[in-house]
Amino acid sequence: MTQAFVPPTRFAVPGRIAVNEQAASEWQTATVTEIRRETPRAATFRLAVPGWPGHLPGQHLMVRLTAEDGYAAQRHYSIASAPDDSGHVELTLDHVEGGEVSGWFHTVARPGDRVEVRGPVSGFFAWPGDRPALLVGAGSGVVPLMSMIRHHRARNLAVPLRLVVSARSPQELIYARELGAETTPVFTRSAPAGATVGRMAAAHVAPLLAEQPSGGWEAYVCGSNSFAEHASRLLVTAGQPVHRIRIERFG
């Protein structure tokens, strides 16, 4: 026998929880119970999943749609709802132009429709609510981060939590009504009177990193790949340790 292998460098951040492998491998039928518009391009789909094993904020699931000829398409979607929403999960989907799965949700789906889901899968991006968390997202990348904020509120957690979120405009900021004092919005195309327009910059993250709660921040970055590259570099430059940045890229 050889001994357990320890990688030579520092990333290898362990997953935050063990994944329930049984749940991750079984498809379950989910029923759409409610559709809520969030922005002109994004809507939230509430699903009843009677056998849902539970999840942690930040985790995602897999959705499968099947056509009559047996063709199936599956995609990953982050879970937007807090874990305590028993028997239900909520997903928030951007309407991707020409998108196969998001297109069906946005143009065909109505309450009563059934899709298949499995999960939650992957524990890496999960946040159980134990450590100070600095959340950085753009576009629909705010979805798993919102689950964390909702969890934080539902449980009245005292652990520090901050969100820096980028959207094209106030109209396109998903969950705008729900975001509160923990949030710094950044608008890239148009902003409310008095606010600046521009890309997320060092000035947005530096003050938060200067705060340094005890034990330091665990950073969670989520969005498109180009956003994830940009934001993670900002964080590293501002002093956030590389091994305490978790990244979820939507592609």
Ligand X SMILES: Cc1cc2nc3c(=O)[nH]c(=O)nc-3n(C[C@H](O)[C@H](O)[C@H](O)COP(=O)(O)OP(=O)(O)OC[C@H]3O[C@@H](n4cnc5c(N)ncnc54)[C@H](O)[C@@H]3O)c2cc1C
The footprint of another protein (CB under 8 A) covers 1-2, 4-5, 7-12, 14-15, 19, 21-22, 24-25, 29, 65-68, 70-76, 98, 100, 104, 108, 113-116, 118, 121-125, 225, 228-229, 232-233, 235-236, 242-243, 245-249, 251
Q: Which is nearer to another protein, 12 or 181 (CB)?
A: 12
Query: What residues does 165 pair with on adjacent strands?
Result: 137, 185
60 by Cβ neighbours in 10 Å (0-12 / 13-18 / 19+) ranks as: buried
Residue 205 engages ligand X in binding (rule: CB under 6 A): no
Among 140, 147, 166, 183, contact with ligand X (rule: CB under 6 A) = 140
Structure tokens at 239: 């002093």
Best CA proximity match to 168, nearest among 140, 188, 184, 139: 188
Q: Tokens standing for 137?
A: 């997202």
Instruction: Compute the least distance from the CB of residue 106 to ligand X, in Å.
Output: 9
Among 41, 55, 60, 152, binds ligand X (CB under 6 A): 60
In the chain, where does DSSP find H-type helix?
A: 21-25, 100-107, 142-154, 202-211, 225-237
Instruction: Give CA–CA dist 91/80, Å, rounded.
Output: 5
Among 35, 96, 157, 191, binds ligand X (CB under 6 A): 96
2 makes contact, choosing from another protein, ligand X, none, with CB < 5 to 8 Å by partner type, with: another protein
